[in-house]
Amino acid sequence: MKIAAQEPTKSRRVRRTEAVILFTVANQLFAIAADSVQEIRSTDSLGAALEIEQQEIPKVRHTVERNHRTYFVVNACIHFGLRVVRPTLVLILRQVRVAVLVDKIERMTEVSAIHALPRAFIGVECRWYRGLAYFEDQVIPVINPLGFLTANEFKRLDGSLAEAASQRTLEGAVQV
Amino acid sequence: MNATDNTNAKSYVLVQIGNRQFAMSAATVSELAPPVRLHHFPQSSPLVAGVIVRRGRIVPVYDVSRILAGKNSPAHRFYLVAARDFGSASEPGAIPVDGECELVTAPIQNPDPTSPKYISGTLTIGEENIQVLDLNALVNSANAGSANAEPNGIESAENRA
C-alpha cells in the first residue's frame, strides 16, 4: 500500500560539497571535515605521549605536544561507547586541543550534502555530530570536532595537568 | 453506524506490530516503505533504532515494538512513515510494522480510561476494538522515561560489522 507522498523531497541541508575524511572506529564508519584535521599520525609515532593522571574522564589517558600546544588524546571507542579496540592512528584536530585515536582511515572524499540530524535525536549525539552524510548507500555521521570534550572537561583536564606539573616541580625541589 | 458516527468518521491505517493491531490517523501517514536498509550509528536517543533513507530524506526509525508488543522488531519489516510534530514543525519518522497495512474509515471512540496516554481512542472494526496510536505521545513518553538511557544502536552496529 502506498499512500500519497506529501513530504517534500529536500532535506534540511546545512552545507554543500565538502571534503571529508572517512575513518573507522570499531568497524563503525564516521566522517570528519578534512579542514578540521591538522595531522594524521600513526600511534607508533606518539612515543612522546605523556600519561595524564586522572580518573574522571576515562576516554583521555594521554596528552601529546604539537607545536608547543598540549593536545588531549581522546579514545574514540570510549567516547562513542563502542567496543574498545587497539587504535592505530591519531587524528590531531585543528580547532581544538584534541587528538583522536581511531582504527583506520578509509579515504578522503567529497560529500554533496550534510543533512541536519533529525529532531528525533535528543541525546549526546546532538553534541557529537554536525549532521549525517548519505554517501554510497551509507548514512555516515559527520563528526563535530568540538564535541569530543566539553568546556568543563577541558577545565578538569587542564587542572590535572597543572597539578601534575606542580607535583613534578615540588619533587624536583626536594631532590635538589 | 448511525448519522452521528458518520460525521465523526475519519480514515485510519491499520498496522500490525508484533502480534497486535493498532490504528494510526491516515492524515499523519505518508507511506508504507519496503524493508530498506536500517542504518545504525552510536547515539543515545530513546526508542530510536537508526535511520532509513526515503525519497532523499533521512528518516529516523522508532522501534515502538518494544513498548507495544514487548519485543524487538524482526530484522525484515516494512516501515510506516508518519509525521511527528516538533512544535510548529513536523518531521517524518518511521515505525517498523509487520505485514500488510489496511486503510479504514471509522468513528473514533474514547480510549479505555486505563489505556496509556499514547492511545488516543479506539475503533470498532467488525467485532474487534483497535487502539488508535498517537506516535508523538508514544515517543514523548519513552523520552520522559529514559532520561538516563544507554547509547542505542551500538550493539546492533557491532553485530552487523
Query: Are the beta carbons of B82 and B92 closer than 8 angstroms?
Result: yes
Q: What percent of chain A has pLDDT over 90?
A: 71
Search chain A and give the residue with CA nearest B135.
A120
Angle at B63 between CA B58 and CA B69, to 5 degrees: 155
pLDDT above 90 (res A12)? no
For residue A111, what pLDDT is reported?
95
Sequence-distant (≥ 6) Cβ neighbours of residue B153 within 8 angstroms: B40, B41, B42, B43, B48, B49, B50
Work out the minimum CA distance from B111 to partner chain A, whole angstroms: 26
Q: Which residues pair with A100 in a beta bridge?
A: A74, A91
Distance CA B48, CA B50 (A): 6
For residue B151, what pLDDT is reported?
52
Search chain A and give the residue with CA nearest B87.
A119
CB A27 to CB B161 under 8 A? Answer: yes
pLDDT above 70 (res A15)? no
CB A120 to CB B29 under 8 A? Answer: no
Cell 552496529 found at = B157
Work out the minimum CA distance from A160 to partner chain B, whole angstroms: 28
pLDDT above 70 (res A152)? yes
Q: Which residues pair with B31 in a beta bridge?
A: B81
Q: What is the CATH number of the domain that holds B116?
A: 2.40.50.180
CB pairs < 8 Å spanning A and B: 114
CB A2 to CB B58 under 8 A? Answer: no
Q: Which amino acid is at A10?
A: K
Sign for the CA dihedral angle at A51, A53, A54, A58 comes to positive
pLDDT band at B8; cut points 50, 70, 90: confident
Residues of chain A with C-beta less than 8 angstroms from the C-beta of B30: 3-7
CB A119 to CB B62 under 8 A? Answer: no
In 3D space, the residue among B56, B109, B154 whose CA is nearest the CA of residue A10 turns out to be: B56
Q: Where does A18-175 sit in CATH, by number?
A: 2.40.50.180
For residue A171, what pLDDT is reported?
72
What ipTM, to 2 d.p.?
0.83
* B1: its cell numbers: 453506524
For residue A175, what pLDDT is reported?
63
Work out the minimum CA distance from B146 to partner chain A, whole angstroms: 10
For residue B77, what pLDDT is reported?
80
Residues of chain A with C-beta less than 8 angstroms from the C-beta of B157: 27-28, 82
User: What residue ranges do the domains of chain A occupy?
Assistant: 18-175
In 3D space, the residue among B69, B32, B73 whose CA is nearest the CA of residue B156 turns out to be: B73
* pLDDT tens for each residue of A76-127: 999 999 999 999 999 999 989 999 999 999 999 999 999 999 999 999 999 9
pLDDT above 50 (res B148)? no
Distance CA A71, CA A63 (A): 5
Query: What is the residue-averaged pLDDT of chain A?
Result: 89
Q: What percent of chain B has pLDDT over 70?
A: 83
Work out the minimum CA distance from B2 to partner chain A, whole angstroms: 28
CB A26 to CB B158 under 8 A? Answer: yes
Work out the minimum CA distance from A59 to partner chain B, whole angstroms: 16
Phi and psi (nearest 5°) for A117? Answer: -60, 130
For residue A140, what pLDDT is reported?
98
Sequence-distant (≥ 6) Cβ neighbours of residue B130 within 8 angstroms: B14, B21, B22, B23, B122, B123, B124
Search chain A and give the residue with CA nearest B136.
A120
* pLDDT tens for each residue of B41-79: 999 999 999 999 999 999 999 999 888 987 766 665 899
* pLDDT tens for each residue of B124-143: 998 999 999 999 999 998 88
Number of domains in chain B: 1
pLDDT band at A4; cut points 50, 70, 90: very low
| Host domain of residue B87 | 3-160
Query: What is the residue-averaged pLDDT of chain B?
Result: 85
In 3D space, the residue among A169, A155, A165 whose CA is nearest the CA of residue A72 turns out to be: A155
Residues of chain B with C-beta less than 8 angstroms from the C-beta of A78: none
pLDDT band at A166; cut points 50, 70, 90: confident
User: Strands, E, within chain A: which ranges?
Assistant: 18-25, 28-33, 37-42, 50-51, 60-66, 69-75, 89-93, 98-102, 104-111, 129-135, 138-143
Of B60, B149, B158, the CB nearest to A121: B60
